[in-house]
Protein backbone atom coordinates (compact mmCIF):
# COMPACT_ATOMS: atom_id res chain seq x y z
CA UNK A 1 0.00 0.00 0.00
CA UNK A 2 1.28 3.45 -0.83
CA UNK A 3 0.75 6.16 1.74
CA UNK A 4 -2.48 8.08 1.34
CA UNK A 5 -0.52 11.31 1.68
CA UNK A 6 0.58 10.73 -1.92
CA UNK A 7 -3.01 11.38 -2.97
CA UNK A 8 -3.35 14.44 -0.78
CA UNK A 9 -5.79 12.88 1.70
CA UNK A 10 -5.39 14.21 5.23
CA UNK A 11 -5.80 12.19 8.45
CA UNK A 12 -9.52 12.57 8.94
CA UNK A 13 -12.27 9.94 8.65
CA UNK A 14 -11.24 8.69 5.20
CA UNK A 15 -7.61 8.27 6.21
CA UNK A 16 -8.42 6.51 9.47
CA UNK A 17 -10.88 4.14 7.83
CA UNK A 18 -8.55 3.05 5.03
CA UNK A 19 -5.43 2.76 7.18
CA UNK A 20 -7.24 0.72 9.80
CA UNK A 21 -8.82 -1.50 7.15
CA UNK A 22 -5.34 -2.15 5.74
CA UNK A 23 -3.99 -2.90 9.19
CA UNK A 24 -6.76 -5.38 9.87
CA UNK A 25 -5.74 -7.33 6.79
CA UNK A 26 -2.32 -7.97 8.34
CA UNK A 27 -1.79 -11.45 9.73
CA UNK A 28 0.65 -10.15 12.34
CA UNK A 29 -0.57 -10.27 15.92
CA UNK A 30 0.22 -7.46 18.38
CA UNK A 31 3.60 -7.73 20.06
CA UNK A 32 3.40 -9.15 23.57
CA UNK A 33 6.84 -8.24 24.90
CA UNK A 34 7.49 -4.92 26.64
CA UNK A 35 8.74 -2.33 24.14
CA UNK A 36 12.19 -1.96 25.74
CA UNK A 37 12.71 -5.72 25.54
CA UNK A 38 11.64 -5.79 21.89
CA UNK A 39 14.10 -3.09 20.88
CA UNK A 40 16.89 -4.74 22.86
CA UNK A 41 16.06 -7.92 20.98
CA UNK A 42 16.35 -6.15 17.63
CA UNK A 43 19.72 -4.71 18.60
CA UNK A 44 20.94 -8.14 19.72
CA UNK A 45 19.76 -9.70 16.47
CA UNK A 46 21.69 -7.10 14.49
CA UNK A 47 24.72 -6.83 16.77
CA UNK A 48 27.26 -8.22 14.26
CA UNK A 49 25.80 -6.04 11.50
CA UNK A 50 25.84 -2.90 13.65
CA UNK A 51 29.46 -3.50 14.62
CA UNK A 52 30.29 -3.90 10.93
CA UNK A 53 28.34 -0.71 10.21
CA UNK A 54 30.31 1.30 12.78
CA UNK A 55 33.53 -0.01 11.24
CA UNK A 56 32.45 1.12 7.79
CA UNK A 57 31.43 4.54 9.13
CA UNK A 58 34.77 5.07 10.86
CA UNK A 59 36.66 4.08 7.72
CA UNK A 60 34.59 6.39 5.54
CA UNK A 61 34.97 9.33 7.92
CA UNK A 62 38.76 9.11 7.70
CA UNK A 63 40.26 12.30 6.31
CA UNK A 64 43.62 14.06 6.38
CA UNK A 65 41.65 17.13 7.47
CA UNK A 66 41.78 16.72 11.25
CA UNK A 67 38.58 18.64 12.02
CA UNK A 68 36.53 16.28 9.84
CA UNK A 69 37.82 13.26 11.72
CA UNK A 70 37.29 14.95 15.07
CA UNK A 71 33.68 15.87 14.39
CA UNK A 72 33.05 12.53 12.68
CA UNK A 73 34.26 10.56 15.69
CA UNK A 74 32.12 12.74 17.97
CA UNK A 75 29.06 11.93 15.88
CA UNK A 76 29.75 8.17 15.85
CA UNK A 77 30.37 8.15 19.60
CA UNK A 78 27.02 9.88 20.14
CA UNK A 79 25.41 6.65 18.99
CA UNK A 80 21.74 7.22 18.34
CA UNK A 81 19.12 4.69 17.35
CA UNK A 82 20.68 3.80 13.98
CA UNK A 83 17.07 3.18 12.95
CA UNK A 84 17.49 3.98 9.26
CA UNK A 85 20.52 1.74 8.66
CA UNK A 86 18.81 -0.94 10.76
CA UNK A 87 15.97 -0.89 8.24
CA UNK A 88 18.40 -1.59 5.39
CA UNK A 89 19.93 -4.50 7.31
CA UNK A 90 16.66 -5.99 8.54
CA UNK A 91 15.04 -5.78 5.12
CA UNK A 92 18.00 -7.55 3.52
CA UNK A 93 18.06 -10.21 6.24
CA UNK A 94 14.31 -10.77 5.96
CA UNK A 95 14.86 -11.56 2.28
CA UNK A 96 17.54 -14.15 3.07
CA UNK A 97 20.79 -12.18 2.99
CA UNK A 98 23.93 -14.26 3.41
CA UNK A 99 27.46 -13.11 4.39
CA UNK A 100 28.26 -11.59 0.98
CA UNK A 101 24.90 -9.80 0.83
CA UNK A 102 25.39 -8.48 4.37
CA UNK A 103 28.71 -6.89 3.42
CA UNK A 104 26.92 -5.08 0.60
CA UNK A 105 24.03 -4.18 2.90
CA UNK A 106 26.47 -2.71 5.43
CA UNK A 107 27.73 -0.33 2.73
CA UNK A 108 24.17 0.67 1.83
CA UNK A 109 23.32 1.12 5.51
CA UNK A 110 26.40 3.31 6.03
CA UNK A 111 25.43 5.50 3.07
CA UNK A 112 21.96 5.99 4.56
CA UNK A 113 23.43 6.83 7.97
CA UNK A 114 25.89 9.34 6.47
CA UNK A 115 23.04 11.09 4.68
CA UNK A 116 20.93 11.13 7.83
CA UNK A 117 23.81 12.48 9.93
CA UNK A 118 24.48 15.19 7.36
CA UNK A 119 20.86 16.30 7.58
CA UNK A 120 21.13 16.46 11.39
CA UNK A 121 24.22 18.66 11.20
CA UNK A 122 22.47 21.04 8.83
CA UNK A 123 19.18 20.94 10.78
CA UNK A 124 20.89 21.87 14.03
CA UNK A 125 22.41 24.92 12.37
CA UNK A 126 19.12 26.01 10.79
CA UNK A 127 17.21 25.41 14.03
CA UNK A 128 19.97 26.90 16.21
CA UNK A 129 19.86 23.75 18.36
CA UNK A 130 22.46 23.28 21.08
CA UNK A 131 21.55 19.81 22.36
CA UNK A 132 20.92 16.41 20.77
CA UNK A 133 21.05 12.96 22.38
CA UNK A 134 21.93 14.59 25.72
CA UNK A 135 25.11 16.04 24.22
CA UNK A 136 26.11 19.38 22.81
CA UNK A 137 25.44 19.62 19.09
CA UNK A 138 28.38 19.94 16.73
CA UNK A 139 27.46 23.52 15.92
CA UNK A 140 27.43 24.38 19.63
CA UNK A 141 30.97 23.00 19.99
CA UNK A 142 32.64 23.84 16.68
CA UNK A 143 30.40 26.56 15.27
CA UNK A 144 27.93 26.76 12.42
CA UNK A 145 30.46 26.97 9.60
CA UNK A 146 32.25 23.77 10.63
CA UNK A 147 28.96 21.90 11.05
CA UNK A 148 27.65 22.90 7.63
CA UNK A 149 30.91 22.05 5.89
CA UNK A 150 31.32 18.69 7.62
CA UNK A 151 27.70 17.97 6.72
CA UNK A 152 28.64 18.67 3.11
CA UNK A 153 31.58 16.27 3.48
CA UNK A 154 29.24 13.53 4.73
CA UNK A 155 26.92 14.04 1.77
CA UNK A 156 29.80 13.93 -0.71
CA UNK A 157 31.34 10.87 0.98
CA UNK A 158 27.98 9.10 0.75
CA UNK A 159 27.89 9.75 -2.98
CA UNK A 160 31.50 8.56 -3.37
CA UNK A 161 30.40 5.30 -1.74
CA UNK A 162 27.46 5.03 -4.14
CA UNK A 163 29.77 5.45 -7.14
CA UNK A 164 32.00 2.67 -5.81
CA UNK A 165 29.03 0.31 -5.79
CA UNK A 166 28.58 0.92 -9.54
CA UNK A 167 24.82 0.52 -9.26
CA UNK A 168 22.81 3.22 -11.03
CA UNK A 169 19.62 2.11 -9.28
CA UNK A 170 21.16 2.92 -5.90
CA UNK A 171 22.30 6.29 -7.24
CA UNK A 172 18.82 7.02 -8.58
CA UNK A 173 17.07 6.11 -5.31
CA UNK A 174 19.38 8.17 -3.12
CA UNK A 175 19.76 11.15 -5.47
CA UNK A 176 15.97 11.51 -5.53
CA UNK A 177 15.79 10.99 -1.78
CA UNK A 178 18.39 13.62 -0.87
CA UNK A 179 16.73 16.08 -3.24
CA UNK A 180 13.36 15.47 -1.57
CA UNK A 181 14.92 15.95 1.88
CA UNK A 182 16.33 19.31 0.84
CA UNK A 183 12.94 20.34 -0.54
CA UNK A 184 11.30 19.29 2.73
CA UNK A 185 13.65 21.44 4.77
CA UNK A 186 12.94 24.44 2.55
CA UNK A 187 9.19 23.83 2.81
CA UNK A 188 9.50 23.71 6.59
CA UNK A 189 11.41 26.99 6.51
CA UNK A 190 8.69 28.59 4.36
CA UNK A 191 6.00 27.50 6.85
CA UNK A 192 7.95 28.71 9.90
CA UNK A 193 5.80 30.72 12.36
CA UNK A 194 2.75 30.24 10.16
CA UNK A 195 -0.30 29.27 12.26
CA UNK A 196 -2.33 28.68 9.10
CA UNK A 197 -0.34 25.62 8.00
CA UNK A 198 -2.76 22.92 6.85
CA UNK A 199 -2.63 19.20 7.51
CA UNK A 200 -1.76 18.60 3.84
CA UNK A 201 1.16 21.03 4.06
CA UNK A 202 2.38 19.46 7.29
CA UNK A 203 2.30 15.96 5.83
CA UNK A 204 4.12 17.08 2.70
CA UNK A 205 6.92 18.47 4.88
CA UNK A 206 7.34 15.34 7.00
CA UNK A 207 7.08 13.09 3.97
CA UNK A 208 10.04 14.82 2.35
CA UNK A 209 12.19 15.59 5.38
CA UNK A 210 11.72 12.25 7.18
CA UNK A 211 9.60 9.56 5.57
CA UNK A 212 11.39 9.38 2.22
CA UNK A 213 14.67 8.32 3.86
CA UNK A 214 12.87 5.51 5.73
CA UNK A 215 11.33 4.53 2.40
CA UNK A 216 14.72 4.59 0.67
CA UNK A 217 16.36 2.50 3.40
CA UNK A 218 13.83 -0.30 2.96
CA UNK A 219 13.88 -0.04 -0.82
CA UNK A 220 17.68 -0.31 -0.83
CA UNK A 221 17.60 -3.38 1.40
CA UNK A 222 15.16 -5.04 -0.98
CA UNK A 223 17.01 -3.92 -4.12
CA UNK A 224 20.30 -5.22 -2.75
CA UNK A 225 18.71 -8.66 -2.47
CA UNK A 226 17.31 -8.56 -6.01
CA UNK A 227 13.69 -8.50 -4.82
CA UNK A 228 11.00 -8.26 -7.48
CA UNK A 229 9.14 -4.98 -7.97
CA UNK A 230 6.12 -6.08 -5.92
CA UNK A 231 8.19 -6.98 -2.87
CA UNK A 232 10.41 -3.92 -3.22
CA UNK A 233 7.39 -1.61 -3.40
CA UNK A 234 5.70 -3.25 -0.42
CA UNK A 235 8.83 -2.80 1.71
CA UNK A 236 9.19 0.77 0.48
CA UNK A 237 5.58 1.33 1.59
CA UNK A 238 6.49 -0.13 4.99
CA UNK A 239 9.32 2.37 5.29
CA UNK A 240 7.27 5.35 4.13
CA UNK A 241 4.43 4.67 6.55
CA UNK A 242 6.90 3.97 9.35
CA UNK A 243 8.55 7.31 8.61
CA UNK A 244 5.24 9.14 8.93
CA UNK A 245 4.49 7.37 12.24
CA UNK A 246 7.96 8.08 13.58
CA UNK A 247 7.90 11.80 12.76
CA UNK A 248 4.40 12.40 14.13
CA UNK A 249 5.44 10.68 17.37
CA UNK A 250 8.64 12.73 17.41
CA UNK A 251 6.64 15.94 17.07
CA UNK A 252 4.44 14.82 19.98
CA UNK A 253 7.49 14.25 22.20
CA UNK A 254 8.26 17.95 21.94
CA UNK A 255 5.18 18.51 24.12
CA UNK A 256 4.91 15.25 26.06
CA UNK A 257 8.50 14.06 26.50
CA UNK A 258 11.11 14.35 29.23
CA UNK A 259 14.13 16.41 28.16
CA UNK A 260 16.54 14.10 30.01
CA UNK A 261 15.09 11.08 28.21
CA UNK A 262 14.66 12.43 24.68
CA UNK A 263 18.06 14.11 24.82
CA UNK A 264 16.99 17.56 23.65
CA UNK A 265 15.08 20.53 24.97
CA UNK A 266 11.30 20.32 25.32
CA UNK A 267 9.48 23.02 23.39
CA UNK A 268 12.09 23.37 20.65
CA UNK A 269 9.46 23.08 17.92
CA UNK A 270 7.47 25.87 19.53
CA UNK A 271 10.56 28.06 19.89
CA UNK A 272 11.37 27.45 16.22
CA UNK A 273 7.81 28.25 15.15
CA UNK A 274 7.05 24.79 13.72
CA UNK A 275 3.36 24.08 13.27
CA UNK A 276 3.17 20.33 13.86
CA UNK A 277 0.14 18.00 13.87
CA UNK A 278 -0.87 18.50 17.53
CA UNK A 279 -0.80 22.28 17.03
CA UNK A 280 -2.84 21.99 13.83
CA UNK A 281 -5.44 19.79 15.54
CA UNK A 282 -5.62 22.07 18.59
CA UNK A 283 -5.98 25.23 16.50
CA UNK A 284 -8.94 23.71 14.66
CA UNK A 285 -10.68 22.57 17.86
CA UNK A 286 -9.88 25.27 20.41
CA UNK A 287 -12.19 28.02 21.57
CA UNK A 288 -11.44 31.44 20.05
CA UNK A 289 -9.37 32.69 23.00
CA UNK A 290 -7.19 29.57 23.11
CA UNK A 291 -6.83 29.55 19.33
CA UNK A 292 -5.57 33.13 19.45
CA UNK A 293 -3.12 32.16 22.20
CA UNK A 294 -1.79 29.32 20.04
CA UNK A 295 -1.36 31.67 17.09
CA UNK A 296 0.57 34.23 19.14
CA UNK A 297 2.78 31.60 20.79
CA UNK A 298 3.71 30.07 17.44
CA UNK A 299 4.35 33.40 15.73
CA UNK A 300 6.54 34.59 18.60
CA UNK A 301 8.29 31.28 19.24
CA UNK A 302 7.40 31.81 22.88
CA UNK A 303 8.85 28.94 24.92
CA UNK A 304 7.42 30.58 28.06
CA UNK A 305 3.97 29.77 26.68
CA UNK A 306 4.73 26.04 26.71
CA UNK A 307 2.79 25.13 29.88
CA UNK A 308 -0.37 26.89 28.74
CA UNK A 309 0.01 25.53 25.23
CA UNK A 310 0.24 21.95 26.54
CA UNK A 311 -2.95 22.58 28.54
CA UNK A 312 -4.70 23.60 25.32
CA UNK A 313 -3.35 20.55 23.48
CA UNK A 314 -4.71 18.27 26.17
CA UNK A 315 -8.06 20.05 26.51
CA UNK A 316 -8.69 19.70 22.78
CA UNK A 317 -7.51 16.05 22.70
CA UNK A 318 -4.97 17.13 20.09
CA UNK A 319 -2.27 14.94 21.62
CA UNK A 320 -4.44 11.80 21.61
CA UNK A 321 -5.69 12.54 18.09
CA UNK A 322 -2.15 12.95 16.79
CA UNK A 323 -1.02 9.75 18.48
CA UNK A 324 -3.93 7.89 16.91
CA UNK A 325 -2.86 9.04 13.45
CA UNK A 326 0.70 7.90 14.16
CA UNK A 327 -0.60 4.50 15.29
CA UNK A 328 -2.64 4.16 12.12
CA UNK A 329 0.47 4.74 10.02
CA UNK A 330 2.36 2.22 12.15
CA UNK A 331 -0.41 -0.34 11.59
CA UNK A 332 -0.34 0.30 7.84
CA UNK A 333 3.43 -0.22 7.88
CA UNK A 334 2.99 -3.58 9.59
CA UNK A 335 0.32 -4.60 7.07
CA UNK A 336 2.79 -4.01 4.23
CA UNK A 337 5.02 -6.77 5.66
CA UNK A 338 2.59 -9.43 4.44
CA UNK A 339 4.97 -9.92 1.49
CA UNK A 340 7.63 -11.36 3.83
CA UNK A 341 7.81 -14.90 5.16
CA UNK A 342 7.70 -15.32 8.93
CA UNK A 343 11.15 -14.79 10.46
CA UNK A 344 12.98 -13.10 13.32
CA UNK A 345 13.76 -10.22 10.99
CA UNK A 346 10.10 -9.70 10.08
CA UNK A 347 9.26 -9.73 13.80
CA UNK A 348 12.00 -7.15 14.33
CA UNK A 349 10.48 -4.90 11.65
CA UNK A 350 7.13 -5.20 13.42
CA UNK A 351 8.83 -4.28 16.69
CA UNK A 352 10.30 -1.14 15.11
CA UNK A 353 6.88 -0.15 13.79
CA UNK A 354 5.38 -0.57 17.26
CA UNK A 355 8.32 1.27 18.81
CA UNK A 356 7.83 4.23 16.51
CA UNK A 357 4.71 5.31 18.40
CA UNK A 358 5.39 3.86 21.86
CA UNK A 359 8.86 5.34 22.38
CA UNK A 360 9.82 7.99 24.90
CA UNK A 361 12.94 9.18 23.09
The residue extents of the domains of the chain are 30-358
Residue 46: the pLDDT is: 93
Q: Does residue 79 carry a pLDDT above 80? A: no
Residue 40: the pLDDT is: 81
What is the tens place of the pLDDT at every residue in 135-149? 899 999 999 999 999
Range picked from 13-22, 119-128, 252-261, 271-280 for highest mean pLDDT: 271-280
Maximal C-alpha separation, the chain: 62
Number of residues that make up the chain: 361
Nearest by Cα to 72 from 61, 56, 87: 61
Q: Does residue 27 carry a pLDDT above 60? A: no
Residue 43: the pLDDT is: 87
Q: What is the CA radius of gyration of the chain?
A: 20
Q: Does residue 13 carry a pLDDT above 50? A: no
Q: Determine which of 107-116, 149-158, 264-273, 327-336 has the lowest per-residue pLDDT on average.
A: 264-273
List, in order, residues 6 or more apart from 291 with CB less than 8 Å away.
283
Q: Does residue 97 carry a pLDDT above 90? A: no
Residue 264: the pLDDT is: 66
Residue 33: the pLDDT is: 59
What's the predicted TM-score (pTM) here? 0.88
Question: Is domain 30-358 classified as CATH 1.10.600.10?
Answer: yes
pLDDT tier at 81, thresholds 50, 70, 90: confident
Q: Is the alpha carbon torsion for 36, 39, 45, 48 positive or negative?
A: negative
Contact 75, 110 (CB under 8 A): no
What is the tens place of the pLDDT at every residue in 248-301? 999 999 999 877 666 667 888 999 999 999 999 999 999 999 999 999 999 999
Nearest by Cα to 350 from 16, 89, 232, 338: 338
Amino acid sequence: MTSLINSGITPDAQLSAELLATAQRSKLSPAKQPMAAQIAGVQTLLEPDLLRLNGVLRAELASDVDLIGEIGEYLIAAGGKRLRPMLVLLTARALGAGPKNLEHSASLAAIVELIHTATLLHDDVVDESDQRRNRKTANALWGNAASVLVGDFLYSRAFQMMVRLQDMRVMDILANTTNAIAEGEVLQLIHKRDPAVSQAQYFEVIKRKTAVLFEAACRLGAHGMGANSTVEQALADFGLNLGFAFQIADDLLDYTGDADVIGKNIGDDLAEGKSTLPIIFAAARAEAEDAEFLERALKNGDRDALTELIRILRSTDAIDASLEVAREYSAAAIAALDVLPQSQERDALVALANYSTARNN
